[in-house]
Structure formats: C-alpha cells, structure tokens
Amino acid sequence: MSSILKSGWNFVKRHRNKALIGVGAVGAAYALNRYLQSVANEWQTSSSRDFVSEVKKKEIHFENTIETCNQTSMSLSVKIVDILDQSLDADPILELIRADTDHKLTDTKIQLWNKLKVRIFTRVISEVYCVVLFVTYLRVQLSVLAGYIYVDNCRQNPADLMSQMQASSSAVQNKYLSLLHNFYTEGIQQIIEPIMEAVDDALQEISLKDQIVLQDLKNIFEKVKASMAFSLCGSQSNASRFLLNPNKMFATEANGNSNGISAKESELLQRMVNETQDILESDDFKRVIDSGIDLGFAVLMDVLLGCFVRISDEKSGQKSDNGFSNPHSIRVPLVKLLPKIWLSLQERRRPEEKLVLVRHLICLDVLNCFAANIYEAFCQQIEQ
C-alpha cells in the first residue's frame, strides 16, 4: 500500500507542472469563453438597440418628408388652378353668347356653344390631370432627395463627408427642385392640348339640346381617360415629358450660369435627374397616376352631381332638403348644365376650396406606399 502511495506521489511530483498548466489553460479557456459570450451578448443588445434607433430615425425622417411634401403640394397646387383658370377662361365666350340678343340659334351661336362646352369640360378635366401629376411628381422628387440626404447624414467619416458628393448641399437641392418650374411654364399647357382634343372627340355625338344624366358624363370621362392613356403611358410617350425638362437646366449650366454648382455637384445632380426620370417612366409610377386620376374623377363627379341637383331644385322651385330625388335620374339639357359647371368653378374663391382634390390625394395609400418604397431604396444605396 505504501509503495502505491509512494509511486502515486512521485507521479504527481513529476507531472505537477503539466497539471498546473492544464488546469490554468482550462480555466483561462473557460474565462475567455465567458468573456466572449458577455461581449457577444453586449454587442447583440447594442446592435439591436442601434437597429431600432436607426429604424426610428428613418421613420421620423420619412414622416417629416411627407409632411413637408403635403404642405408644399397644398401651397403650390393653388397656383395650378389659377393657371388653368387663366388659360381656359370661359367668360369671354359666355359674354359673346349673352351679347347676341337674338334668341334664334344661329350657326354663329351654335359654334360659340360648342366651343364653350369643349372649353369647360377641358377646364375641369385638366385640373384632375395636372393636380394628380404634380402631387405625384412632388412625392417622387422629395422622396429621392430625402433618401440622398439620409445617406449623407449617416456618413461617419469627416473625410468622406468632404470627398463624397453631397445632396444635402442647398445648391444641389435648389437646383433639383427647380425642375418643378418647368411644369408651370410648359407642362400645364402641354397637358391641356391632348385633353382638349380628347374632349372634343368625346363630345362630338352629344348635342347641346340632349338631355343628359350623370352616367353620360361618366361615359365622356371614360373616353377621355382612354384617349389620355396613350399620352401618359403610350409606347411612344410618357408622363415625364410633362413634368421635367433636364436639358434646359443643364443647357443653362453649359452656358456658364451654374448658380454656384461645382463640377462634382453637377455630376450628382445629373445622376439624381436621371434616376428621377427612370422612376417617372416606370410601371409603378403609371399605376399610381391611374389610381390618382380615378380618384380625381370621383371627386369631379361629386361636384357635377351638385350642379345637377341645383338645376333640379331651380326647375321644381324647391329646396333640395324638402324632398328627395335620385340625382342619377335627373335629366338636364347640356346647354343648361354648362353655365352651372362654370359657376361652380367660379364660386371657389378661398384656397381651401381649390384644394379638395389635393387633400384626397395626399391620403391616397398607393401614393404614400410608392413614396416610402422610393425613400427606402435611396436610403440603401451604396455610395461609390
């Protein structure tokens, strides 16, 4: 027994250092593993916290962008209505009709009435197309710009901030947003022309003496929408030609009027314009425009319904709240409806009354989802 203990003690003495090293290594490995686990847990918690913070920051930034876009849409859309009122003013035609005291329906008076019906229908339909295109276009522009600005703000390296192209530069932002000016100066008039042709074609078979109902107006609008589909989404044309003219802007820079834009900023601006044009020519943009136009005609039908009810009340000598009649069954001569439509346009004196369609559009889900997708795509872009 003593020999066994003695041999065991000799074994321990011989391998003591190895045993100590082994125990130390195991202990160190265990401690290191615990440390790495704690670091990993801390990193995971921090990453999760940073991710939530980043998502929240993007969400707030996008919400602020949409709010800015909504306010800008409402303030600038009033100008669109005013331009349409000036370009498609029906008062001169009405004055010529009133000046003709001869109650006979002469050829001259018939021509004036036909011109009046085309002018008035072109006016109300042009407002739908112009406002829808403008509000959707502004959503696209501000979403693209907000995505670029978000990427700029996420850069951590000051050297990168100086070397990279900056969309947050006020000069770049102002130049990019100045593309809107083309819509006011050229785009609106370019939209009016095909609409007037489509209206003239849709009204060919409707006489001034015809008794029409609301469904007849819907049929007219459907014909105009079908015709305008080729101007907005045809294989040889697209909506972008009404909305921006980058050639004019860059031609100004080529002539030396760069307004403080550097060569690198001009390169970024060209890139942003090209990307915006790609979006305007995309199928998603066309679908959003179609949804907005459908909404616009629904709002327009509400206005025209009021005209039918007003004529019916005047004819019966009753107030509309004294009795009920189905507005869809009301028949009105077109010659009596036209002045009422024009009067309803003239009665919109306050800016709020001119923004009914805009208020509906800025709440359109498909438009806001479209803007969110654009913003997210540009937030994730990799800067070269």
Domain borders along the chain are 77-379
φ/ψ region of 237 (left if φ > 0, alpha if ψ in -120 to 50, else beta) reads beta
pLDDT for residue 116: 93
Average pLDDT of span 79-104: 85
pLDDT at 162 over 50: no
pLDDT for residue 383: 45
d(CA 125, CA 226): 13
pLDDT at 121 over 60: yes
d(CA 42, CA 242): 54
* % of the chain beyond a pLDDT of 70: 72
Average pLDDT of span 288-317: 88
**Cβ 144 vs Cβ 372: under 8 Å:** no
Q: Please, what sign has the CA dihedral across residues 46, 52, 56, 59?
A: positive
Half-sphere exposure of 312 (CA within 13 A, CB side): 22
pLDDT for residue 382: 46
163 pLDDT band, cuts 50/70/90, is: very low
Predicted TM-score of the model (pTM): 0.81
Q: What's the burial of 63, exposed, middle or buried (CB within 10 Å: 0-12/13-18/19+)?
A: exposed
User: What average pLDDT does the chain have?
Assistant: 80
d(CA 97, CA 109): 7
